[in-house]
Every structure is written in C-alpha cells, then in structure tokens.
Amino acid sequence: MPILSFVLKRVIQAGFVLVAVTLFVSFAIRLTGDPAVMMLRESANVTPEDLARIREGLGLNRPFLVQYWDFITGLLTGDLGASFFRGAIGPLVSDALGATLLLALTSLAVSLVISIPLGIYAATHRGSFGDQLVRVLSLAGLSFPNFWLGIMLVLIFSVTLRWLPPSGFMGPASLIMPAVTIGVILTSTNLRIVRTTMLDVLSSQFIMVARAKGLSQTAVIYKHALRNSSIALVTYLGLQFGSLMGGLVVVELVFNWPGMGTLAIEAIAQRDYPILQTVISILAVMIVAVNLLVDLTYMLLDPRIRLE
C-alpha cells in the first residue's frame, strides 16, 4: 500500500508537470512563425486570402485553447494527428523514438560496462599508478566536446579506414560510433561517481565487519560495497537518461541519426506545431516515468529508504 500510494501521488504530480510543459511548448512554438507562410514561401503573388485559406485548412484560425484541447485529447486517445507537411505523426514519432531509445540505451550500456569495473579498480587500488591513470582518462573524457569526438571518429573510422558507415542508420555497424561518442562522455562522469562512492562505502564499519567475518574480497566488493554504493549511480543514470532522450540533438546531427532530436529540429525549422508538441510531450512522459522508476529502485537497493 505505501508503494501504491507513492506511485499514485507521483502520477498526479506528473500530470500537472505534463500539462504545464505541453501548454508552454504549444504556446511558445506559435511565437516562432506562421506555418502558412512557410508553405507558400516559394510561391509568387501570395495574397492575404491565400494565407487565410491555409490557416483555416490547418485549423490555425481557431482559438489557442481549442487547438490545445484537441491536441491533448488526441494524445490521450492515441490519435497523434497529422503533420502540416509530412502526413501522419504516429509512424514518424514511432521510428524516431525507437532510434533514440536504441542509441540512448546502447550508450548507457557502453558507459556502465566501462565505468563500473574501472571505478571499482580505482577505488580498491587508491593512490596506485592505475588509479591515477583512470582519473586522468576520466578527466580527459570530460574535456572532449561530443561533436568534436564524433567528427574525429568519422574521420578515422569512416573517411580514413573505411571500416564503419559515416552516417545514417544502416544496421548495427551504424550504431557503433554514435554510441561510443556518447558512451565515452557518460563514462567519464559515471567512473568518478563509482570510484568516489566505493571509497566512502569501503571505509564504512559494516565493510570492516564483513572482512572480519572472513568474507572474500570478491564478496565484500560486489555483494556488499557495490550494492550500497550504487544508489548515487542509479540517481545519476536517471538524470543521464532524461538528458539523453532530449539532448542527443548534436550527436544525431553529426551522424545523421534519425532520432527524436533530429525530428524536433526539423519540426522547429518548418513551424510544424503538431510534431514538435508530440515529441516534447512523449519525452516529458518518458523522463517522468524514468524518475519514478529510479525512486522505486532506491527501495530495492536499500530497504531502509522510505518512499514519501
């Protein structure tokens, strides 16, 4: 019952957040320009009557709140409507969301596979040459802008060596460079988090008790220390996932990746209100859901934590 009460309270809070986000986005995008003008920008002798007919056909002549209500009811019923320029929104968003999720989850996996073992090694060999090397590499990774790293990977592995496709999504090989580009940046931060939290946990009294009982180093590190130090990492992973879902625009543009960021940029350029509203709303729902999942994960990792 406490868990159900917590979930219900968070869902209600999320509802207010989503209404505020969608309302703001729906209003703000209408300040960027007129889609009717975009449609007729290459036409000669455009009259005000022509623009009025386009606006009426798109439904832009209706009051703002009426347009917003239609968008929200369509979103809740699964009817995403149609783009001003590209047809049905459902297939467009579905393809873009799948591409973004694939890239984000693969990047997080790459980061965890690298950062957890290296962070544990650095923490258990504090002050050694290996620890210093890991810290230097972590700092170097934080210093690389993601667009620069992406361009360098393209120059080396696509232009020079011709091992990987430079852009687009043409199979698993196309995923390698974008995932490595993002994964390296994430690893630099996650590695430092794992190392710092592991150092704190390894100096705790219960770790000394576990060692006094004769537990092996492997059991102490992976069964006790890692689990208790993972709360900070889980928190940051939730934040990273949220930023990845909406912040992959630069990497997607470098690699011409057909994700949500690319779709949103194209919608902004075309003043395509329906697509941008839908993209932002879906990203907001996913971020809220991930944050709720992170909160529930806290309780599984440490039963002493109460959900409020």
Residue 149 lies in a domain: yes
For residues 101 and 33, membership in a common domain is answered with: no
Strand residue runs (E) in 38-188: none
Task: For residues 231 and 299, give the distance between their C-alpha atoms in angstroms, rounded to a whole number.
Answer: 10
Residue at which a domain ends, from 55, 77, 99: 77
Please indicate whether residue 246 or residue 19 has the higher confidence score (pLDDT).
Answer: 19
Instruction: Give me the CATH number covering residue 178.
Output: 1.10.3720.10
Residue at which a domain ends, from 52, 77, 102: 77
Look up the domain containing 16 and give its range: 12-77
For residues 36 and 166, membership in a common domain is answered with: no
Strand residue runs (E) in 80-135: none
For residues 94 and 173, membership in a common domain is answered with: yes
Residue at which a domain ends, from 30, 54, 77: 77
Residue 185 lies in a domain: yes
Is the pLDDT confidence value at 42 over 80? no
State CA 234 to chain mean position distance.
14
- Report which of 234, 259, 238 is spatially closest to residue 248, judged by C-alpha positions: 259
Neighbours of 307 (CB within 10 A): 14
Residue 141 lies in a domain: yes
- 100 with 247: CB under 8 angstroms? no
Tell me the pLDDT tens digit for each residue of 253-273: 889 888 888 898 888 888 888
For residues 126 and 46, membership in a common domain is answered with: no
- Report which of 273, 267, 284, 264 is spatially closest to residue 27, judged by C-alpha positions: 273
User: Measuring CA to CA, how many Å separate 140 from each of 134, 135, 144, 184, 201?
Assistant: 10, 9, 7, 10, 26
* Helix, strand, coil in percent for the chain, rounding step 5: 80, 0, 20
Residue 154 gets which letter from DSSP?
A: I
| pTM, two decimal places | 0.82
- Domains of the chain: total: 2
Residue 7 lies in a domain: no
Is the pLDDT confidence value at 101 over 70? yes
For residues 95 and 238, membership in a common domain is answered with: yes
For residues 119 and 65, membership in a common domain is answered with: no
Task: For residues 78 and 88, give the distance between their C-alpha atoms in angstroms, rounded to a whole number.
Answer: 12
Tell me the pLDDT tens digit for each residue of 184-210: 889 988 999 999 999 998 888 888 888
Is the pLDDT confidence value at 307 over 90? no
Place of tokens 């993601």: 146
For residues 25 and 140, membership in a common domain is answered with: no
